[in-house]
Structure 1
Amino acid sequence: MRAKASRERIAFWLPIAIFALLVLIAPDILLLVFAGLLVAVFLRMGGNAIARRLHIREGWGLALYSIMLVCLAVLFFLYAAQGLSDQLDQLTTALPKAMKQVQDFIDSHGWLHSVTRSIDLGSIAPSSKGAATTVMMSIGVIGNAMLILFIGVYGAVEPQLYRRGIAALFPASKRDWVVASFATGWAALSGWLFAQLISMTVIGLLTFVGLWLLNVPLAAILAILAGLLTFIPNIGPVLSAIPALAMGLTVSPMTMLWVAVLYLAVQALESNLITPQIQEKAMSLPPALIIAFQLLMGSFFGLLGLALATPLLAVLMMMTRRHYLPLVRPETA
């Protein structure tokens, strides 16, 4: 009996030790896999929703959802991509001049200059230097994006296959626990991603309407940027506000002030009304913990780590609540 128990303990801890070793030697690969898992959750969420609505099998729902996404992408590139690409080119051209105006505005106000003298605003604007480096980075980004897409598609088509395969690495007595852990992680990602997609859409629309009413140039591309960067809580909205403020100053200092008010109002609405209503406070995460985890992931793994910090934290928090706390505090079960 003791020998059997020892073998089970070894069989349980060996896969965990291998995973921990992979975290140490290949963390970037694991982050790409996690990003692919997010794509799989996104595809499966939409496919399952269609399957429930049409009363068809989940596989057919996933196929219909994938076809719908492809059609939407084609329509976007046919009718909207060129206009947005032109706006992006204009933004890239106009932003250095706008940042120069911001610097001149700051220099003309002594108290602002003393506050921001350590910030190199010129470094925020795009630069035409380093074209070869930019091309190589673009190739790497495209390659990573394709890898994430492939992982997401295969993970969405047969998620149970991969769950059972990983569970088979553990002793039979622990396989139900492993499967339950996967289900918990999947539920955490589904809840977080649903809330985040709604928040990104609402923020993008509200930002576009506000910038359009303020007659800020390139409102569409700035609104899309605001929506996309909402994926990174706390830090993303700040980054999206920088080019919008700069473009607002090209109109007038008062317009820049109104742009700041707009972004603050939209973020306050999202933080205090939209996200809590969507998530029903089930996926609420402590803001200080989010920021600390973002800084940690960003310092170790760069932009990808920063982008994936919050969903990863959501998974870790839910698994802790569902599987760890009941062990150490049975009254929480």
Structure 2
Amino acid sequence: MRPSSPTVTPDPPDAPAAGPDLTAQRVIPLRRPGRWIVTVVVLVVFAQVVHGLVTNPYYQWDRFAYYFFRPVVLDGLLITLQVTAASAVLALLGGIVLALARQSSSPVLQVLSWAYVWLFRSVPLIVLLLFLYNFSALYRVLGLGIPFGPTFVSFGVTTLGTDMVIAVVGLSLNAAAFAAEVVRAGLLSVDAGQREAAAALGLPRGFQFRRIVLPQALRTIVPSYVNVLIDLVKGSSLVFYVSLLDLFGSVQSLGSTYPGDIVPLLVVATVWYVVVTSVISVVQYYVERRYARGAERALPPTPLQRVRAALRWSR
């Protein structure tokens, strides 16, 4: 008996031919020559600027190095930091109060809050500081009591109106007007359904604000308020006009004593202001990253994580 041969099934005529394995191929990124050209141009311009700064003898970098850590400059920097820190805290507290008053159901509080923001956003900071510096000429004694009646407590303005107090009060009054709008915008950014759900659960209004509304509003408040804080750092340079020797005041006094060193002294002040604002920006980044938890699926990478990712990609 003859053995049967195996049955061979022919391929259908329209079967596609086996192609190369696409998973083993390397993905070639799209070439972008315009990006490289712009990058080279920017680097060339940046190198030109750095070269001009380093080689220009009028900047007197040796005098810059001499003055940068001088005790008189560091003392002025310390006063700048103290004034800015105290004003930032008071301005934020005042901004919260003004924002809540603006959103209250009382028409009197709404009008007073709006009038405060309108007035102090309209008055230049230098005018406000000079007015407070001469406040004792208008009111020598202030008192607490019944209007048009007896005074229970009175105190002299000159005893309280030191140069530091005048600077902090002036900066706080000015920054509170801007902080109020920042806080109000953050509160308005919270979805109304959050408040309605909390009210439906019978939660107290104070608890609603502290645990539900404010944590969500901070994601909007923090970036905007940091701009107010940076303006406070730069605006603190005006306290020199109320006889407070901050960083700019110390540099200005040294420049009056040594007029040949005005340029390096101004560069010293500029670099210190840049250092302070840069530190504030770094703190802002990590605060924003913290409050992004729960709102973002993945937290934004830190600068160190970005560097590590770039090194891994280059390999």
| TM-score in terms of structure 2 length | 0.27
**Higher RCO (CA-CA < 8 Å; seq separation 6+):** 2
More helix per residue:
1
Structure number with bigger Rg = 2
User: What TM-score, normalized by structure 1, do the two folds share?
Assistant: 0.26
